[in-house]
């Protein structure tokens, strides 16, 4: 349980960083800025790696959250970095991560409340 709480916090942070990296910038601006592009790649990797490590119990308890999406993106980044489509990363960060973060925050709140409950 504690590990999942840590992983969820890491996922939220990575997703928020990815959103911040692309905020107000075009795909071309991100692609042409090596530091920004590398930061986006890194945060996408962290997000996906953490998602792979969240327990099966938590994933099963919250099936509405698309746990596999960040994992797929991470795999694409890690195994094909020379051909990663920055437009895909940009679209993910601008259009998809908002809702995903909302879901992660909700899951984190539930699991935190569970962890604070005294054992019977």
For residue 113 the two structure tokens come to 């409340």
Whole-number pLDDT of residue 82: 65
pTM, two decimal places? 0.90
Q: Which domain holds residue 41?
A: 2-116
41-45, 70-74, 82-86, 105-109: range with lowest mean pLDDT = 82-86
Whole-number pLDDT of residue 81: 61
Give per-residue pLDDT as tens, 102-117: 999 999 999 999 988 8
Q: Please tell me the total count of domains within the chain.
A: 1
Give per-residue pLDDT as tens, 7-61: 999 999 999 999 999 999 999 999 999 999 999 999 999 999 999 999 999 999 9
DSSP labels, the chain: -HHHHHHHHHHHHHHHHHHHHHTT--HHHHHH-HHHHHHHHHHHHHHHHHHHHS-HHHHHH-TTS-THHHHHHHHHHHH-GGG--HHHHHHIIIIIHHHHHHHHHHHHHHHHHHHHSPP-
Question: Which residue in the block uniquely carries the two structure tokens 């920004």?
Answer: 36
């Amino acid at each position: 349980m504690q590990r999942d709480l840590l992983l969820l916090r890491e996922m939220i942070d990575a997703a928020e960083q990815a959103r911040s990296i692309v905020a107000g910038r075009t795909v071309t601006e991100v692609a042409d800025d090596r530091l920004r592009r590398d930061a986006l790649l890194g945060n996408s990797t962290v997000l996906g790696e953490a998602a792979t490590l969240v327990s099966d119990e938590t994933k099963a308890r919250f099936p509405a959250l698309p746990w596999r999406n960040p994992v797929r993106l991470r795999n694409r980044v890690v195994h094909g970095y020379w051909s990663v489509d920055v437009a895909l990363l940009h679209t993910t960060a601008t259009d998809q991560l908002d809702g995903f973060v909302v879901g992660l925050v909700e899951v984190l709140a539930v699991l935190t409340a569970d962890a604070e409950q005294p054992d019977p």
